Amino acid sequence: MKTRCFAGLLLALAAALTACSPSSTGVDEDLSQPTMPSSDMADHEMAEPMDMADHETPDHGGHEHGQPVDLTGLASRPEVSLLAEADGSGGIMLDIEVLGLELVPADPPVDHRPGQGHVHVAVDGLPVAMIADTSYHVAGLTNGSHAVTVTLSSNDHRDYHAGGSAISATADVQVTGGAPLVEPDVRFEVDVAGGTIGGGLQRFEASVGQLVEVTVRSDVADDVHLHVYDLKVAVHERMPAVLLVEVDIPGVFEAELHTAGFKIFELAVS
């Protein structure tokens, strides 16, 4: 099943150009020259970059992280299209085309620069990768329909917007040859910002044999490490970590942000 979607070129300029001149917005004059990234194939397992005009007021660090970068006032904006095809083995092959944006790696992180960025890949609304490649393989999906979205992002992981919407493309794909759909028995969420855990340190309760899903969101990049089960998943500012584990060992287990070195939750299994 193949689907091609296009986004990014259909919005008018009108009064926006008057209100947002290059002198007040920092628009890069070279942005009208599109960049065509390479199309080499990269194979990735599921789980695991252009600010052309910054119209918002920067914070003390130079950027207001989390706020989209509005490119509505640009005469020439980047665009992205997506061709997605099921591989018959529980995965989806993505062929991504990006125009008007230089793709640079998301890791290690770099400061926002006009004309640069990367692509955020999400499946069914959940982020799975941040890439500078134009080909990508999402593996390990369950059978059934899945929505794949690719969104253009600045170096500091803010979505590029135009006319109030993200510059993105979405394709619906019917996956076959994968695992049957399995829902976790219990779900938990943790939010970390400024070195503080939202709601304080929590202890999550589960029973032996249950499938547990824990989603961790953080305002800094790190690894979430669940001890004893030795499960480690990367977390980024705009890509949460999703830990999925079938608990078969009783006890109380700590999870920490590996680099920051502090505990973010406890999992009690009985």
Q: Can you read off the two tokens belonging to residue 44?
A: 């990735």
Give the pLDDT confidence score for residue 208 in this predicted structure. 95
Whether 167 contacts 71, CB under 8 Å: yes
- For residues 26 and 210, which has the higher predicted lDDT (pLDDT)? 210
Statement: residue 226 has pLDDT above 60: yes
For the stretch 40-59, pLDDT in tens is 333 444 433 333 333 333 33
pLDDT at 26: 35
Q: What is the mean pLDDT of residues 85-90?
A: 95
Q: Which two tokens stand for residue 174?
A: 């019917």
Q: What is the mean pLDDT of residues 237-242?
A: 79
**How much is the pLDDT for 66?**
61
How far is it, in rounded angstroms, from Cα 253 to Cα 265? 9
pTM: 0.60
Tell me the fold of 186-269: Immunoglobulin-like (2.60.40)
List the chain domain ranges: 3-175, 186-269
